[in-house]
């Protein structure tokens, strides 16, 4: 794992870079002058915060928004990064603490309000402080023709010349005039390395399937692409070995790769993958950082990734050469349970866990999307798009139906059993199956017992999966994965809202027993 990837995980708590971040982080960390244009919410701050930790000395961050600076500083300090801000909102004590940290050489990030640049004292202080990078947030504020013009931003170029260090400028405003003005005023007209690639990877076909029989689903996906290089991402180390064997039995050249292997066999797989045509590697997420093969023709997930960022990064390894590439992501109720449990059992503080659930929900929303997947994916990263015509849902738009009644039955089964049970038991109640467990709890006496005989076991599983995808119910780790209702479900239960479900995932559901991980 690279330094940047380790910091991303250990300091910032993210499992994958968002679109564009990795390249920008690398360039900034290497001391290139950079202009990065990213949509709002795309994750700009990481692109200077992470490099700041990789560079010696202190990084000066100039931002026009005092509240935002203070938020970022608070967040950084919470994760153990030495950061401080000098703004007009500081108390004298806060100022002293920042000066002390700066003089002792501890500080890694110093946020500075632009008006501070007007003082000669600030410039002299920075000249002595060992600054190795200037990061400029909202760089369009340097544009005299824009709405957000900040005259003090005009002093940034002077500061860069005085300190003679690299500068990284960030903005969400992409129009050509603004860009030109940024280059003129911040970089003295010397073109910086620019990043303004959109996030869309139009050559990659997107597809999801509910996990009915993962082995067969992966085998048939690979069979249709015989001879092409591909990666199968698996949720466990054991599964990489099992699937690799299953594919080999079908005559594919395969290898497996995971973090439990010694460095040497891992390196050998990387080498084979880079040089051999048509190899399939079954791997955990350990495989990827540093895999730089342009002609990977497909990526499949036998298990649901951790988050929407991880999904984007992993499918993004396909088709780097721009030629058509295909992806398939399998997901099932067990995956959702497993991912939730991993988040809940992790050591992350509560806010971070809540955010992780949110990123998983976003991925589930994508999995059970009712319209174009690319539109949904790009919307998450702040880009708008038209239906792409190059995803499974554009190929075959899903039919939906009013699923309010089924959802209400499922919710009431959970409520009447005090939200203490998981999917399997709730489905037994709904379908009127008097199992030992049902009898033991006297759940056969509930009014909900047997009200859901119209749907099969597999169809009920699909309903529950969609309900989790729509965040109507969540498995509660403290209750061993028992399903609890979320606030979003209340209006449905009260009859104030209806809810649509996808018909196909119900129609496709069979009565095979739930797939074990
Ligand atoms: P902006 O580009 O608007 O400045 P921010 O830097 O504030 O965006 O980031 C927006 C949100 O994205 C924040 O909540 C941040 O925690 C989150 N974020 C940034 N990078 C990642 C990542 N690699 N994985 C997951 N979430 C991320
Ligand atoms: Zn589409």
Is ligand 1 within 6 A of the CB of residue 406? no
Beta-sheet pairing, 473-476 with 482-485: antiparallel
Structure tokens, 211: 């996990």
Degrees, nearest 5: CA angle 14-17-18: 110
Q: Residues 395-442: pLDDT tens digits? A: 998 889 999 999 999 999 999 999 999 888 999 999 999 999 999 999
Neighbours of 248 (CB within 10 A): 15
**Using CA atoms, how far apart are residues 514 and 517, in angstroms rounded to an integer?**
10
Phi, psi of 27 (to 5 degrees): -65, -45
Quote the mean pLDDT of the chain: 90
**How distant, in Å, are the alpha carbons of 407, 426, 498 from that of 494?**
12, 20, 10
**Using CA atoms, how far apart are residues 97 and 99, in angstroms rounded to an integer?**
6
Any idea of the CA torsion for 303, 387, 393, 201, to the nearest 10 degrees?
-30
- What pLDDT score was predicted for residue 460? 92
Is ligand 1 within 6 A of the CB of residue 458? no
Q: Which atom of ligand 1 is nearest to the CA of 39?
A: 2
Is ligand 1 within 6 A of the CB of residue 18? yes
Look at residues 42, 39, 318, 41 and name the one whose alpha carbon lies nearest to residue 206.
Answer: 318
pLDDT value at 514 more than 70: no
Find the mean pLDDT for residues 41-61.
94
Tokens 């099969």 identify what position? Answer: 456
Nearest alpha carbon, ligand 1 atom 5: 43
User: Rounded to an integer, what is the distance from CA 196 to the centroid of its chain?
Assistant: 20
Query: Model pTM?
Result: 0.72
Structure tokens, 64: 């026009």
**Using CA atoms, how far apart are residues 441 and 463, in angstroms rounded to an integer?**
24
Nearest alpha carbon, ligand 1 atom 3: 41
pLDDT value at 481 more than 70: no
Q: Residues 158-211: pLDDT tens digits? A: 999 999 999 999 998 767 888 899 999 999 989 999 998 778 899 999 999 989
Q: Which residues pair with 131 in a beta bridge?
A: 58
**H helix intervals, 38-175:** 46-54, 66-78, 92-103, 120-128, 156-163
Is ligand 1 within 6 A of the CB of residue 38? yes
Share of the chain above pLDDT 70, in %: 96
| Most informative mutation of 7, 22, 24, 46 for ligand 1 (most atoms within 8 A of CB) | 46
Q: Residues 108-157: pLDDT tens digits? A: 999 999 999 988 888 889 999 999 999 999 999 998 877 788 999 999 99
Q: What interface predicted TM-score (ipTM) does this complex get?
A: 0.97
Q: Which residues surround ligand 2, an ion (CB under 5 A)?
A: 372, 374, 388, 391, 394
**How distant, in Å, are the alpha carbons of 343, 407, 484 from that of 427?**
25, 12, 15
């Amino acid at each position: 794992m690279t330094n940047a990837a380790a910091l991303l995980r250990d300091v910032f708590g993210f499992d994958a870079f968002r679109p564009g971040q990795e390249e920008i982080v690398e360039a900034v960390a290497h001391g290139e002058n950079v202009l990065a244009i990213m949509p709002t919410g795309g994750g700009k701050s990481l692109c200077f915060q992470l490099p700041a930790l990789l560079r010696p000395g202190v990084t000066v961050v100039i931002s026009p928004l005092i509240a935002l600076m203070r938020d970022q500083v608070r967040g950084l300090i919470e994760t153990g990064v030495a950061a401080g801000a000098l703004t007009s909102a500081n108390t004298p004590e806060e100022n002293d603490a920042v000066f002390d940290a700066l003089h002792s050489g501890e500080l890694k990030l110093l946020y500075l309000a632009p008006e501070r640049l007007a003082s000669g004292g600030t410039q002299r202080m920075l000249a002595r402080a060992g600054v190795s990078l200037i990061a400029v947030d909202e760089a369009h504020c340097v544009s005299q023709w824009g709405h957000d013009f900040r005259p003090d931003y005009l002093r940034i170029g002077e500061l860069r010349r005085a300190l003679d260090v690299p500068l990284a400028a960030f903005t969400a405003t992409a129009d050509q005039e603004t860009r030109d003005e940024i280059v003129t005023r911040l970089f003295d007209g010397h073109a910086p390395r620019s990043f303004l690639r959109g996030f869309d990877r139009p050559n990659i076909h997107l597809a999801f399937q509910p996990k009915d029989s993962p082995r067969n689903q992966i085998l048939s996906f690979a069979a249709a692409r015989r001879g092409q290089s591909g990666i199968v991402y698996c949720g466990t180390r054991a599964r990489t070995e099992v699937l690799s064997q299953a594919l080999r039995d079908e005559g594919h050249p395969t290898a497996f790769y995971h973090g439990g292997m010694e460095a040497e066999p891992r390196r050998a797989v990387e080498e084979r993958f880079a040089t051999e045509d048509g190899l399939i590697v079954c791997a955990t997420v350990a495989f990827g950082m540093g895999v730089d093969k342009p002609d990977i023709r497909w990526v499949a997930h036998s298990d649901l990734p951790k988050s929407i960022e991880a999904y984007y990064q992993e499918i993004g390894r396909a088709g780097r050469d721009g030629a058509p590439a295909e992806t398939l992501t399998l997901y099932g109720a067990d995956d959702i349970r497993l991912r939730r449990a991993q988040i809940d059992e992790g050591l992350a503080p509560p806010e971070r866990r809540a955010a992780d659930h949110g990123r998983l929900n976003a991925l589930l929303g994508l999995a059970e999307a009712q319209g174009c997947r690319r539109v949904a994916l790009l919307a998450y990263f702040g880009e708008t798009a038209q239906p792409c015509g190059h995803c499974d849902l554009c190929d075959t738009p899903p039919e939906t139906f009013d699923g309010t009644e089924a959802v209400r039955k499922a919710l009431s089964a959970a409520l009447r059993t005090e939200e203490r049970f998981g999917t399997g038991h709730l489905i037994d109640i709904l379908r009127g199956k008097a199992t030992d467990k049902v009898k033991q709890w006297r759940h056969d006496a509930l009014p909900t017992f047997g009200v859901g005989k119209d749907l099969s076991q597999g169809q009920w599983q699909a309903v529950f999966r969609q309900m989790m995808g729509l965040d109507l119910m969540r498995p509660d780790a403290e209750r061993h994965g028992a399903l609890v209702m979320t606030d979003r479900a209340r209006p449905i239960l009260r009859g104030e809202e209806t809810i649509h479900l996808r018909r196909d995932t119900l129609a496709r559901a069979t009565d095979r027993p739930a797939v074990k991980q």
